[in-house]
Chains A and B, each alone.
Chain A
Amino acid sequence: MNVVVCVKQIPDPAEPGALDPETKTLKRDGKLILDESDSYGVEMALQLVDAAGGGEVTLVSMAPNSEVSGLRTALAMGAAKAVLVSDDALKGSDALGTSKVLAKAIGRAGDADLILTATESSDGYTGVVPEQIAELLGLPSVTFAKSITIDGSSAKVQRQTEAGYDDVEVPLPALVSVTAGVVEPRYPSFKGIMAAKSKPVDEVTVSDLGIDAGQVGWAGSGQEITDVAQAEARQAGTIVEDDGEGFQKIVDFLAELKVI
């Protein structure tokens, strides 16, 4: 059982984000980390390979400046190897451009039985990349998985819905996007961290993947930012320290609003 997991390396969400004043895109030139949203897919992939009793987990990522620190985190968790696409031509890529690159990189990662992604990244959160990759690869897919079990040549997936969940069956190979919080990502062990340093990262450019640079980056995005404006700020109200009677302030406020 070979599983490919698409992972994104993003600016630390704890740091305030900023836009590049020239390109109006999110600044991504500082240190990047593994998107927490992707740690669930990595964990799920490791569990599925374990349960199958063989095979390996390969990571696929696209990031500027040959960034590998997030990949090393996932390799330390237990992934075997990674394909990293890093190329200046990718700056400003939209979701579709990103998907075209990741689809090609997945092909380079070798024959996969299953491709896992998060449902959306924490910094861009377009949420369309999983389905775009599946369509580009001509694969069936299930989004918003709560759990995955492999049954012979198909996967049984519980898919989150508005009302509860659906049981979905999909023949392999397939792409599945994994909902955050459904498994507990393991902490890398010291041994894992040491081993990750020597695990292979296959770094490639856009042309290595046979992609025309005009299809990706700003040129290929088919869209332009026409305005960036300050949104109307909400006024802060009354802030009080709880002296044991703070609850009464809430009761009074709710009564004033006539909701109790």
Chain B
Amino acid sequence: MALSKIWVYGEAANGTVSGTTLELLAKARELADTVEVVTTSGADLAGPAGANGASKVLNIGGTDGKLVGVPAAAAIAAAVEAGTGPDAILFATSYDGRDVAGRLSVKLDAPVITNVTDLVAAGDGLAGVEPIFGGSTDVTTAFTGDKVKIFLVRPKSFTAEETGGGAAAVEELSVPDTGATGTAVITNRFVEEKSGPSLDDAAIVVSGGRGLGEQDSFELIETLSKQLGAAPGASRAIVDAGWVPYSYQVGQTGKVVKPNVYIAAGISGATQHLVGMKGSKYIIAINKDAEAPIFSVSDLGIVGDVHKVLPKLIEALQNR
């Protein structure tokens, strides 16, 4: 084994473990003798963590109503200083994962290797592989020091696989005083109503881009998504333009999706976007510009106007 102990930063989603946590556990098991989960959601995670190969869940308590970045990083750093820390710690590239990893890297004065889609043994350590330029080039980066190796890993990089183990034992990890840094409090939580599957889980994703021309045309994407039981997505261009919220964004600075079918409508396929959807099994693209890079990764490309193609497609699907 490359390492003796890896911690996976565990996150909960909808009262259970997040898919990415399980993906990280599957990879960590290949790389280290001991795999443990460190989390602020211990009670929710003990069962699934154990069933996916973690021997222990280290629970950082008392973070209710707080942003987790500061307390989680402080607790992990304290464990490292006390000599009970891991050789490497894996975080998902998520809202909270990035917060904790950033804070932790300063506390340990240790670098972070980010946007990793694969982890490989490198001597007696571990290196991260990051795709750049729209996924055309893979860069492998290794740590040179002997500090705890912090990795931020993109979702969908690995495949989760249960080991069938029983619930992991839960141990508490205490949070030292965080002073002024820990003073942000959550006063309210809003869950936006969304029908249909999420971008993470959908078997089909339909994304729209600048080729839609105007915000109102995004309705075409919503309608087609509903018909196909798909999740609607968006390119960065129309998120930046304020047409749809950031949570729709597929790409390097948004979500990574790997659905069975990905439909890109009015998206040119900037490298920014390709990184987020290239791993889809089948890709269908509709774009006016025959030279658009999206066609270089498409299984089926229609060179045409989304305003003509989409309404006909929607009608045809209605009549089926």
Contact = CB atoms under 8 A, between A and B. Distances in A.
Interface of A: 13, 16-17, 19, 24, 36-37, 94-96, 99, 119-120, 122, 125-132, 134-136, 138-144, 146, 159-171, 174, 179-182, 184, 221-231, 233-234, 236-242, 244, 246-251, 253-254, 257, 259-260
Interface string B131-148: 111011111111111010
Q: Which 10 A-B pairs have the closest CB atoms?
A: A242-B304, A131-B102, A128-B102, A237-B299, A164-B192, A135-B106, A227-B140, A239-B301, A247-B312, A167-B188
A96 B111 contact: yes
B290 interface: yes
Contacts of A130: 102
Contacts of B290: 239, 241
B261 A254 contact: yes
B286 interface: yes
A123 B240 CA distance: 16
Nearest to B313: A247
A233 B98 contact: no
Given A122-B272, A135-B103, A182-B242, A166 B300 contact: no
B220 interface: no
Given A126-B115, A141-B70, A238-B301, 20 more contacts: A125-B115, A127-B102, A132-B102, A135-B102, A139-B181, A140-B180, A141-B69, A141-B99, A169-B187, A181-B245, A181-B246, A184-B242, A225-B140, A233-B136, A238-B300, A240-B301, A241-B303, A247-B312, A247-B313, A257-B260
A102 to B, nearest CB: 12
Given A128-B152, A229-B137, A142 B305 contact: no
B51 interface: no
Interface residues of B, number: 98
Contacts of A95: 102, 105, 111-112, 114
A241 B152 contact: no
Contacts of A231: 131, 135-138
A94 B63 CA distance: 30
Contact of B246 (A179, A224, A259): A179
B43 interface: no
A155 to B, nearest CB: 9
A260 B320 contact: yes
B67 interface: yes
Contacts of A135: 73, 102-103, 106-107, 181
Interface in B224-269: 228, 236, 239-242, 245-247, 252-253, 260-261, 263
